[in-house]
Chains A and B, each alone.
Chain A
Amino acid sequence: MRGKRVSGAERNRQGMEDKLLQGRPDVLVEVDRDRAGGGLRTEEMLVNMGPQHPSTHGVLRLMLRIDGELVLECTPHIGYLHRCAEKIGENVTPVQFIPITDRLDYLAAMINNHGYSLAVEKLLGMEVPERGRYIRVIMSELNRIASHLVSFGAYGLDMGAFTPFVYAFREREYILDLFEQVCGARLTYSYLSIGGATQDLPEGFPERLAQFLDYFEPKIAEYNNLLSFNQIFVKRTAGVGVISAADAIAWGLTGPCLRGSGVKWDLRKCVPYDIYDRFEFDIPVGLPGGVGGAPREAVVGDSWNRYYVRILEMQQSVRILRQCLQQLPSGDFRAKVPRVLKLPAKETYLEVEGGRGQVGYLVVGDGKAVPRRVKIRGPSFCNLSIASHVCRNVLIADIAAIIGSIDVVMGEVDR
């Protein structure tokens, strides 16, 4: 029927590439497997999952090569939210750049502010007053809880459970209220800035935070009852999308994705920055099945563990916050920052533990008020790069489970 027979996989790969280049990815690719092999003649399809798809968390586009329900290959295409934040960073002063960092990982904006401020302060050799440092840690941890809440809720949504999402947002709302009381904003705070915080904590804030922590801590058990140990949820996620520790390190995974693979690595503990060495907290890692309350089906590095690490991290953040409240000193919340900052001709690279992994900033000064170069390492960018490796020979439903557990924020991937 056809002239020369090429191996099916070969041909299909070529065909896919050709189609991609033509900008018509949604064309059927017919596969002609070797007849001698006697494989089922099926039609492999290329489908676009995203950039407008409910479970790709924003504008991620996954190109799936599927055979029925089976995903043979998954290629992420990113860049739909690219704003070239690094170029902006070269054109504005560090203080002006703070609002841009809000828009990277917009679910954990405080931690981005924190990281960039720390990098610039390291470049300047600036010291931040004690109270300012505590405020920063409080805000970072509170925002980590908020960010993990969104991740938890959205993951439930990916698995078809609607209610956890609303529960998560109910609690997140209180955190956002607290943030609003602090700085007036609810998503892009720009609150932590070079030298400390932009304002002091409002009166009564520590009491309200304590009130929230008392309220929030028991809720985690509720989430576990509702979702984490739900048998259907466990069946959907445990053992799905297993990433080994070696793979996780090779692909540069950080944050809950790395820890879910059983690597007990957290910058706050391993390379302590700011004042994290003053607090006592544990680093949760992925658990093998049947150990430490994990369900029997669980495997270290699977989607369930990545998800559950986030739940446990919320508890640890609550611990840190309680210690912060105990130790919170009075005094200045901000160092004296000159009106015009001249960045010295130095270079620094600094990473902090963000909501999704290690947020890194490389800042190069050359004696002017604007940096010569700002490079941002988005953790989601690195975490997402493993998707095509993991999403292979899985079902379509597993794609949602895996991508959801990797938990990317496209603002950070595309920058």
Chain B
Amino acid sequence: MNKFSAEDALRPRFTAAHKALALRGFVIAGVALLAAAVGFGFVAGVAQGVGYAAAVGGVVLAGLTGACCLLAAFVIRFAALVGRVLLTLALPIFLGGVVGIVVLAWIPALLYERVDGIKADHPGAAVSVAQFEAALTGNAAAARGPAYLAALALWPLQFQLTRDVLAVVGVVGFVSLVAMFGIWWERKVAGRMQSRLGPMRVGGWHGWAQSLADGLKLLQKEDIFIAGADRALFRLAPYVAFIPAMCLFIALPFSAAWVARDLEVGLIFIFAMLGVGVLGVLLAGWASNNKWSMLGAMREACQMISYEIPLGFALLVPIMTLGTLRLTAIGEAQSGGFHTWLAFANPFTFIAAIVFFVATLASCKRAPFDLPEAESELVAGYLTEYSGFRWALFFFAEYAEMFAVAALASVLFFGAWYSPLPASWGAAWADGPLWQRAVHGVLYSGPIWFVLKGFFFFFVQLWLRWTLPRIRLDQVMYACVQVLLPLTMVALLGNTLWLWLVRPGAWLAVAVNLILTAIGGLTVVAMAAIVLYGYLNRRRLVGTMAVDPLPGG
């Protein structure tokens, strides 16, 4: 007989003893850290001479950690109370969080600008803290006064290393947010398309904290390894899938100035990272020791290798048109308003835009190309044996990739971070006071437009997923080799001829541009009209029928 016992299975994993232990641990750690911070600060105050900056850093770090520990202890002790407060204030917290994130994202940009300004006044290797203080107070002589602390905080920002670290932190944070928001949003969209509500419970307002709760749940899940699985590769696979998805965002420009690394080869860097991510899936399928996983991995490899070719060809069209691989340059070229967007430049870029979108669907394993994880055929494909955190990593990777390719589509073909209005109209406000720049950011160009466009294409992906059935493998290959590939070749050749023969500003170019712009505009208007119609008739369209319960029924 096996050793399974029901008592073991039913025993809660976290008991009251665990809770008490955690409470005590957090209180002790918090108090100790706070004491250390105070003590350290005292010592540092006495011996001001050496390592003052380091001392301040230590004090701040220890103090913050200690405070966090005490906060954690508080949450554990008064969990019920905290929960109630969170639930009542869910919407304000959510909205506050959104505003906070926006502000948080703005602050570094403003700080960098200030630092760069100060740096410009002091040519040379590095600007000292004293010089910063002097620049902040306006006095030539540094006095180690109250402005000293601010100067101390600004000082590291002049180095590229610090900015890189901040950028990586920002990217990781943004990817996590995108994934969590994307999962929640997908469930809401799916729900609304299916006359359901989607998540409604966790967090109060429309279940906004559902992803958070899911994440917590996944973290607590048991880490299961399959007998006969290659453990090391099984562990490695989610990271191999996740890290390239993260790296995509390093080269992705949110705006001309908002890019972690403005790579000269940004476009093909993203292309490369999309290709490397497949290895994680392949590895997961191989290491799982499960035939369904293996089949899923083979499908993914097959599909990805095939669709890289039309994807690459479609990328060549904007590259050829603009003569650059730098994403910011590609974006800048489309600043002149709606009609200058690359998709509307000529018929071939239009085709390339469509092919690009379809090929990215395939490369992100989204419906109707979700064969690698087709649950009605392969159980869950390469994800079959994964659970908990590793599974969540695959999901994070998938949603991050989805947003990245959606955003890439907008950068390449749909005006990047520019609004439909020509950027030249708002040029005067771009360098004005803060409020003017804020308005400019909303109206003309900026990360807001970029994120909006990204999420629009993200939404189209969701829309397709919840509408279409899944294609069969041979049909996927057929669509790639016999439809998309010839189409991209035509687009490439046609674009070459167009660039060679049609002079910019010629009547043909203008007419075609106008027609394509009209098509694009009409599409958007039609979609808006559908949305409006759906909203106005939202009671009728969901297909509900009011049936009163019968008496005694």
Bound state CA distance, A205 and B378, in angstroms?
A: 45
A162 touching B466 by the CB < 8 A rule? yes
In this complex, the member of B367, B470, B549 whose beta carbon has the largest number of chain A beta carbons within 10 angstroms is: B470
Chain A residues whose CB sits within 8 angstroms of the CB of B436 once the complex forms: none
Contact A212 B466 (CB under 8 A): no
User: Would you call A235 and B376 a contact (CB within 8 A)?
Assistant: no
Q: A55-B377, A170-B195, A395-B474 are in contact. Are A159 and B549 (CB under 8 A)?
A: no
Q: Tell me which of A160, A205, A400 contacts B370 (CB under 8 A).
A: A160
Binds B, one of A93-101, A226-234, A261-269, A318-326: A226-234
Smallest distance from the beta carbon of A152 to chain B beta carbons, Å?
13
Task: Check A230/B468 contact, CB under 8 A, given A55-B376, A69-B295, A160-B374.
Answer: yes
Q: Is A125 an interface residue (CB 8 A)?
A: no
Does A390 sit within 8 A of B, measured CB to CB? Answer: no
- Chain B interface size band reads 35 or more
Contact B553 A160 (CB under 8 A): no
How many Å lie between the Cα of A159 and that of B195 in the bound state? 20
A156 touches B469 (CB 8 A): yes
Mask, B184-210, CB within 8 Å of A = 1, is: 000000100111100000000000000
Q: Using known A-B contacts A202-B552, A211-B547, A396-B378, determine if residue A160 contacts B190 with beta carbons closer than 8 Å.
A: no
Query: How far does the alpha carbon of A181 sit from the alpha carbon of B548 in the complex, in Å?
Result: 11
Per the bound structure, the CA–CA distance linking A227 and B466 in Å amounts to 12
The one of A163, A227, A233, A399 that contacts B377, using a Cβ cutoff of 8 Å: A399
Chain A neighbourhood of B378, CB < 8 A:
396
Question: Whose C-beta in chain A lies nearest to the C-beta of B191?
Answer: A166
Contact B291 A45 (CB under 8 A): yes
B193 touches A163 (CB 8 A): yes
Are A202 and B553 within 8 A (Cβ)?
Answer: yes
Interface flags, B361-382, vs A, CB<8A=1, else 0: 0000001101100111111000
Whether a CB of chain A sits under 8 angstroms from the CB of B543 is yes
Which A residues touch B470, using CB under 8 A? 159-161, 232, 236, 397
- A157 to B376: give the CA distance in the assembly, Å: 7
Contact B543 A162 (CB under 8 A): no
B292 at the interface (CB under 8 A from A): yes
Whether B545 is near chain A, meaning CB under 8 Å from some CB there, is yes
Q: Is B471 interfacial (CB-CB < 8 Å)?
A: yes
Q: Are B543 and A160 interface neighbours, CB within 8 A?
A: no
The answer to whether the Cβ of A366 comes within 8 Å of any Cβ in the partner chain is: no
**B469 A167 Cβ-Cβ under 8 A:** no
- Find chain A residues with CB under 8 A from B291 CB: 26, 45, 47
B387: min CB distance to chain A, Å: 15
Residues of A within 8 Å of B103, CB to CB, are: none
Give Cα A102 to B291, complex, Å: 37
A83 within 8 A of B: no
Decide yes or no whether B438 CB sits under 8 A from chain A: no
Docked CA distance A230–B468 (Å): 8
| Closest B residue to A237 using CB positions | B469
A141 to B431: give the CA distance in the assembly, Å: 72
Binary flags per residue of A120-145, CB closer than 8 Å to B gives 1, else 0: 00000000000000000000000000
CB atoms of B549 and A54 under 8 A apart = no
- Cβ of B61 within 8 Å of any chain A Cβ, yes or no, is no
Chain B residue at minimal CB-CB distance from A162: B466
Query: In the docked arrangement, what's the CA distance between A51 and B442, Å?
Result: 55
Contact flag A395-B376 (CB < 8 Å), given A162-B190, A177-B547, A232-B368: no
Q: Nearest CB to that of B367 among chain A residues?
A: A160
CB distance from A97 to the nearest CB of B (A): 27
Residue of B nearest to A235 (CB): B475
Q: Is the CB of B553 within 8 A of A180?
A: yes
In angstroms, how far is the closest chain A Cβ from the Cβ of B546?
A: 9
The docked-state distance in angstroms from the alpha carbon of A234 to that of B489 is 28
Residue numbers in A under 8 Å from B138 (CB-CB) = none
Please report the number of residue pairs spanning A and B whose Cβ atoms sit closer than 8 angstroms: 113
Cα-based distance from A211 to B543 in the complex (angstroms): 13
Give the chain A neighbours of B377 by CB distance below 8 A. 55, 396-397, 399-400
Q: From DSSP, what is the main secondary structure of chain B's interface residues? A: loop
Q: Is A251 interfacial (CB-CB < 8 Å)?
A: no
Q: A182 contacts which chain B residues (CB < 8 A)?
A: 553
Whether the pair B550, A203 counts as a contact (CB closer than 8 A) is: yes
Q: Does B469 lie within 8 Å of A396, measured CB to CB?
A: no
Q: Report chain A residues within 8 Å CB of B374.
A: 160, 397
A208 near B: Cβ within 8 Å?
yes
- Indicate if the CB atoms of A160 and B550 lie closer than 8 Å: no
Please determine whether A232 and B376 come into contact, CB atoms closer than 8 angstroms. no
For chain A, give the interface size range: 35 or more
Closest chain A CB from B545 CB (angstroms): 5
Interface: B503 (CB within 8 A): no
Chain B nearest CB from A42 CB (Å) reads 12
With A160-B370, A212-B545 known as contacts, the answer to whether A54 contacts B468 (CB < 8 A) is: no
Please provide the chain B residues from 12 to 63 with a CB less than 8 Å away from any CB of chain A in the complex.
none
A398 at the interface (CB under 8 A from B): yes
Answer yes or no: A389 CB below 8 A from chain B CBs: no
B292-A54 in contact (CB<8A): no
Closest to A404 in B: B376
Please determine whether A396 and B194 come into contact, CB atoms closer than 8 angstroms: no
Q: Residue of A at shortest CB range from B552?
A: A202
Is A219 positioned at the interface, with any CB of B under 8 Å from its CB?
A: yes
> A residues 249-297 with Cβ under 8 Å of B?
none
B376 contacts A211, C-beta separation under 8 Å: no
Minimum C-beta distance from A49 to chain B (A) = 9
Interface presence of B505 (CB below 8 A): no
Bound complex: CA A180 to CA B291 (Å): 44
Bound Cα distance A174, B374 (Å): 31
CA distance A163 to B553 in the complex (A): 30
- How far apart are the CA atoms of A181 and B544 in the complex, in Å? 18
In chain B, positions 454-489 with a C-beta closer than 8 Å to chain A are 465-475
Whole-angstrom CA separation of A219 from B379 in the bound complex: 31
Contact, CB under 8 Å: A397 / B466: no
Question: Cβ of A202: which chain B residues have Cβ within 8 Å of it?
Answer: 550-553
Q: Taking CB as reference atom, which chain A residue is nearest B376?
A: A55
- The answer to whether residues A235 and B193 also contact, given A203-B550, A208-B547, A399-B377 and a CB cut-off of 8 A, is no
Q: Chain A residues near B190: list those with CB within 8 A.
A: 162-163
Which of B194, B196, B473 touches A395 (beta carbons < 8 Å)? B473
A150 to chain B, nearest CB (A): 15
Within 8 A of A (CB), among B367-408: 367-368, 370-371, 374-379
Q: How far is the CA of A230 from the CA of B467 in the complex (A)?
A: 10
Which residue, B368, B377, B544, has most C-beta atoms of chain A within 10 A? B377
Known: A55-B376, A202-B552, A232-B468. A163 touches B368 (CB 8 A): no
**Cβ of A174 and Cβ of B545 under 8 Å apart?**
yes
A53 at the interface (CB under 8 A from B): yes
Min CB–CB distance B374 → chain A (angstroms): 6
Q: Contact at A161–B194, with CB atoms within 8 Å?
A: no
Partner of A53, one of B367, B379, B465: B379
A163 to B474, Cβ gap below 8 A?
A: no
Min CB–CB distance B384 → chain A (angstroms): 11
Do the beta carbons of A204 and B195 come within 8 Å of each other? no
Taking CB atoms, residues of chain A closer than 8 Å to B295 are 69, 396
Q: Which residues of B contact A219 (CB under 8 A)?
A: 543
Of all chain B residues, the one with the shortest Cβ separation from A219 is: B543
- What mask results when residues 169 to 186 of chain A are scored 1 for a CB within 8 Å of chain B, else 0? 010001001001110000
B473 A236 Cβ-Cβ under 8 A = no
User: Please, which residue of chain B has its CB at the minimum distance from the CB of A161?
Assistant: B469
On whether the beta carbons of B473 and A397 are closer than 8 Å, the reply is: yes
Encode A181-218 as 1/0 by CB contact (under 8 A) with B.
11000000000000000000011110010011001000
CA of A219 to CA of B370, assembled, Å: 28
Q: Which 9 A-B pairs rank lowest in CB-CB distance, beginning with the nearest? A: A160-B470, A181-B553, A166-B194, A55-B376, A161-B469, A159-B469, A181-B550, A397-B472, A215-B545
- In the complex, besides A45-B291, A54-B375, A166-B194, 5 extra interface pairs with C-beta distance below 8 angstroms are A55-B376, A69-B295, A215-B545, A395-B473, A400-B377
Please, could you name 21 A-B residue pairs with CB atoms under 8 Å apart, sorted by A? A26-B291, A45-B291, A47-B292, A55-B376, A69-B295, A159-B376, A160-B370, A160-B376, A162-B190, A162-B465, A163-B190, A163-B466, A208-B550, A211-B545, A212-B545, A235-B472, A395-B473, A396-B295, A396-B378, A397-B473, A404-B376
